[in-house]
């Protein structure tokens, strides 16, 4: 089984970090007792600019969670369609050939879910198996690829697609002036990404995957790791006002303590060592998360440049981030054929998802 393609889609509204800082200072007004602290937090996340679902002036008009979620449903359909169409085109796969559609988000709710709406918009198969995933947060991009891999492992003549849409700006809480929310206001952003995964026998029943020359790595193995008793480290507190961020400062410590061992055990179970890996596709998180990841895995000399660049250019896109990093590696930093690599992300649970790749 193989990752045939990855593609991203973003809203048309892109703003510099400085402009967004000024807008947020105005948005909170006198309730923000220490504007300098907000500026300092925004600077520390190292983000230079972000895409937003709406023009900044539209956020002042949103008064309820329902209004924010209505905007989420509208924009999620648009971006999800764009990302999936691009991923299909890059893979040389027809929409009708997708046997399963996985959709992940943690920033909005719809029933029927967005994947159902995409079936109608793109004319996907009426027999497609669809799996909407909510609540996995940042880890869901990696987990979604792993679940798509599970599917094509069972149905090797088929292809599966994953679509992630995260519109983090529409979750911002105006009444929440906690440090976690202030950090989030400078770190998280909006975007979508899609991945097509094909089974081992797919090429014989469909178009050549390599037609556009950007087919991706083989998925050799996957692993999910759950850390018991850590559910309060990351996620949402959900109320009548929407999603309030939960973000523990202990997350980097957890990563340092567990990620290296988990990766080593995963690799050992498949006859490999960490030194065998030459490619790293890792969720962007934030500066402290990337620094903790580098320390846990002993990575240096630019091995996380793709993740750092994604964070700098577009911010943290939650589940879509690792997919955007994957797209960048496939298009601009492609490893030599045969290179082993790791795709990984961590998120609410607390948990991690690991995929062993061969380019």
Pick the catalytic residue from 138, 168, 310, 351. 138
In 168-276, DSSP assigns E strands to 190-198, 218-226, 234-239, 242-247
Q: Can the peptide bond before residue 122 be classed as cis, meaning omega within 30 degrees of 0?
A: no
Query: Nearest-CA neighbor of 224 among 296, 140, 167, 341?
Result: 140
Query: Nearest-CA neighbor of 322 among 43, 1, 4, 8?
Result: 8
First-to-last C-alpha distance (Å) of the chain: 12
Return the exposure string of 305-328: e unless at least 16 CB atoms fall within 10 Å of the residue's CB, then b.
ebbbbbbbbbbbbbbbbbbbbbbb
Query: Nearest-CA neighbor of 165 among 323, 328, 358?
Result: 323
Q: Determine what percent of the chain falls in helix, strand and coil, rounding each to the nearest 5.
A: 45, 25, 30
Query: Nearest-CA neighbor of 185 among 332, 56, 292?
Result: 56
Segment holding 73, helix H or strand E: helix 65-91
Judge contact between 51 and 189, C-beta under 8 A.
Answer: yes
Judge contact between 11 and 75, C-beta under 8 A.
Answer: yes
Annotated active-site residue 138? The verdict is: yes
Judge contact between 49 and 15, C-beta under 8 A.
Answer: yes
For 302, other C-beta atoms within 10 Å of its C-beta total 9
Judge contact between 9 and 83, C-beta under 8 A.
Answer: yes
Alpha helices in 155-194 (DSSP H): 179-187
Q: Catalytic positions, please?
A: 138
């Amino acid at each position: 089984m193989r990752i045939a393609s990855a593609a991203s889609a973003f809203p048309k509204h892109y703003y510099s970090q400085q402009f967004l800082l000024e807008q947020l200072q105005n948005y909170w007004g006198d309730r923000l007792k220490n504007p300098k602290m907000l500026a300092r937090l925004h600077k520390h996340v190292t983000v230079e600019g972000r895409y937003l679902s709406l023009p900044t002036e539209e956020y002042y008009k949103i008064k309820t969670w329902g209004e924010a979620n209505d905007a989420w449903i509208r924009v999620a359909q648009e971006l999800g369609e764009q990302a999936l169409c691009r991923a299909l085109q890059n893979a040389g796969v027809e929409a009708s050939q997708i046997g399963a559609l996985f959709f992940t988000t943690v920033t909005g709710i719809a029933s029927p879910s967005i994947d159902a709406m995409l079936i109608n918009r793109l004319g996907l198969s009426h027999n497609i198996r669809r799996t909407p995933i909510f609540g996995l947060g940042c880890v869901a991009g990696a987990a979604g690829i792993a679940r798509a891999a599970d599917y094509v492992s069972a149905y090797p003549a088929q292809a599966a697609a994953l679509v992630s849409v995260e519109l983090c700006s529409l979750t911002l809480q105006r009444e929440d002036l906690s440090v976690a929310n202030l950090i989030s206001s400078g770190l998280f952003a909006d975007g979508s990404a899609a991945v097509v995964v094909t089974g081992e026998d797919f090429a014989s029943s469909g178009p050549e995957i390599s037609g556009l020359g950007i087919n991706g790595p083989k998925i050799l193995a996957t692993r999910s790791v759950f850390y018991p008793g850590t559910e309060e480290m990351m996620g949402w507190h959900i109320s009548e006002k929407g999603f309030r961020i939960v973000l523990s400062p202990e997350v980097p410590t957890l990563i340092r303590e567990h990620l290296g061992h988990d990766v080593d055990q995963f690799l050992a179970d498949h006859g490999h060592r960490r030194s065998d890996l030459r490619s790293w596709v890792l969720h962007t998180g934030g500066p402290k998360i990337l620094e903790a990841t580098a320390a846990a895995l002993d990575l240096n000399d630019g091995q996380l440049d793709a993740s750092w660049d994604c964070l700098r250019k577009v911010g943290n896109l939650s589940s879509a981030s690792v997919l955007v990093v994957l797209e960048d590696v496939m298009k601009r930093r492609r490893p030599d054929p045969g290179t082993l690599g790791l795709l990984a992300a961590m998120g609410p649970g607390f948990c991690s998802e690991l995929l062993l790749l061969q380019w």
